[in-house]
Amino acid sequence: MTFQRIVAIAIGILFLLKTGASALAESPVPKLPIPDKLVVLTFDDSVKSHYTVVRPLLRKYRFGATFFITEGFEFKTNKNHYMSWTEIARLHQDGFEIGNHTRDHLGLDATHPENLKKQLAAYPAQLKAINERCKEHGIPVPTSFAYPGNGIAAEALPLLKKLNIKFARRGGSPEYPYEKGRGVAYEPGKDHPLLLPTAGDARPDWELSDFIRAVKQAKNGRIAILQFHGAPDLAHSWVNTPVGKFEIYMKYLAENNYRVIALRDLEKYVDPKAVPADPFKIITERKKLIAQQQQQ
């Protein structure tokens, strides 16, 4: 065999290796089938009890969760009620997800176009401020987002996408009114990944039956995303979850073999790039269905 022939074969092998490797890299990652009893736990507003009460309990049960961090409210001055960045970094080191909830807890007000315009204009800086803090503390830049005050707007979707957000969680509204914390499960393919509904938003007067109503929706390809604030939450009494109740809820998930994950873990089951043509269609359909059921 001539030297040229050996070189030609070597180049051929290298070419095959290279194209084979790139073909592999470009093939879509196969997604896991969505099991029943799949629950996403989310905790909003950087509350101190996330570190002191929630963290040890989730670690005991080996549950995943997302903590949505904001420096709003009295984050900078009241360290009795809000976590420090060192504590937030510890949550990341434990394996929990740190999500973005805007620097100032800046909600979107779609009912006032002038306000909304200003709020959306502020969003890049609001999200990037939290991203910077994360980088400073060795936390990956968040790809999950929760709408502050659960205020949503269609105009936010392209903006969040541009800011590298893959999954964004809203509340149980507009399908259900805000007050009682009721909601619906996430239906992959129908719900836009940047408008994921809350199946249950814990309220102080919730009983175990309210919690069960939320998580029981996690079946037939649907995923129950739960929203908590502090356990307890002394600064925001209307979203407080008493410690005893929180312990009962988590015990229920463990004893009933629920799979409990962070919001980012949804990517194992769904493709965040697959979006419905009309993000609000499913919401309108559900509202109609719920109105019909309530008339019966």
Least CB distance to Zn ion at residue 105 (A): 6
20 vs 177, which CB is nearer to Zn ion? 177
Total residues contacting Zn ion by CB under 5 A comes to 3
Q: Is 233 in the site for Zn ion (CB under 5 A)?
A: no
Least CB distance to Zn ion at residue 107 (A): 8
44 vs 175, which CB is nearer to Zn ion? 44
198 vs 282, which CB is nearer to Zn ion? 198
Among 44, 71, 233, 265, binds Zn ion (CB under 5 A): 44
- Binding track over 135-164 against Zn ion, x by CB under 5 A: -------------x----------------
Nearest to residue 219, comparing CAs of 185, 262, 171, 191? 185
The residue number whose beta carbon is nearest to Zn ion equals: 44
34 vs 262, which CB is nearer to Zn ion? 262
* Region binding Zn ion by CB under 5 A among candidate stretches 4-12, 45-53, 89-97, 243-251: 45-53
Q: Under the rule (CB under 5 A), what is the footprint of Zn ion?
A: 44-45, 148
